[in-house]
A = this chain, B = another copy of it.
Amino acid sequence: MRVVELAVNLDDVTGEQLGAAIDRLLRAGALDAWATPITMKKGRPAVMLSVLTTEDRRDALAQQLLADTGSFGVRYRAWDRVVLDRATHQRKTELGEIRLKAGSLKGRPIAVKPEFDDVRALADAADISLLQAQRVARAAADNLLDELRKEADRA
């Protein structure tokens, strides 16, 4: 399944602008957006801003990227992808509810990972360390992976 990558090299925007531009691109529907530190001409410590998007959102996101950064151009090209099928599961833990993201390929469950924002929220709410909250979340994720594998074996 294809996605489009947009990229611009920026030596005339600030970190504040970049952080906000990335966030706004994600809110506008980008699949992903990130910054890579680079060294450009004239000794400029700069950044390459990259965006992944479905083809139908490409033009709109390119326009937004140009408008938010003042860049004079944006390059783009397509990638193919191998993607796992995803499902989100809600689970109770001793600290509270968390969302678990499950990925499978051709019906075979491959991995389950906690939604980290929920791990963070549980740590804050219980006033415990991130490590302690992660341990609880991981146990839930491991249990779900085992469940999903048993189901797949029976199917």
Which of chain B's residues has its CB closest to A121's CB? B20
Question: Does chain B have a CB within 8 A of A53?
Answer: no
| Cβ contact within 8 Å between A48 and B75 | no
Say how far A5's CB is from chain B's closest CB, in angstroms.
8
User: Which residues of B sit under 8 angstroms from A41, Cβ to Cβ?
Assistant: 22-23, 26, 32-34, 43
- Please list the residues of chain A having a beta carbon within 8 angstroms of any beta carbon in chain B: 3, 5, 7, 9-24, 26, 32-48, 52, 59, 62, 64, 66-70, 72-84, 86, 101, 103, 105, 110-111, 113, 116-117, 119-120, 123-124, 129-132, 134-135, 138, 142
A111 to B65, CA, bound (A): 13
A75 vs B83: C-alpha distance when bound (angstroms):
8
Closest to A78 in B: B77
Q: Say yes or no: B76 contacts A81, CB within 8 Å.
A: yes
State the Cβ distance, A75 to closest chain B Cβ, in Å.
4
Q: If the complex has contacts A26-B41, A35-B38, are A79 and B82 also in contact, measured as CB distance less than 8 A?
A: no
**A37 & B45 in contact (Cβ 8 Å cutoff):** yes
Given contacts A77-B77, A83-B72, contact A15 B23 (CB under 8 A): no
How long is the Cα–Cα vector from A21 to B116 in the complex, in angstroms? 12
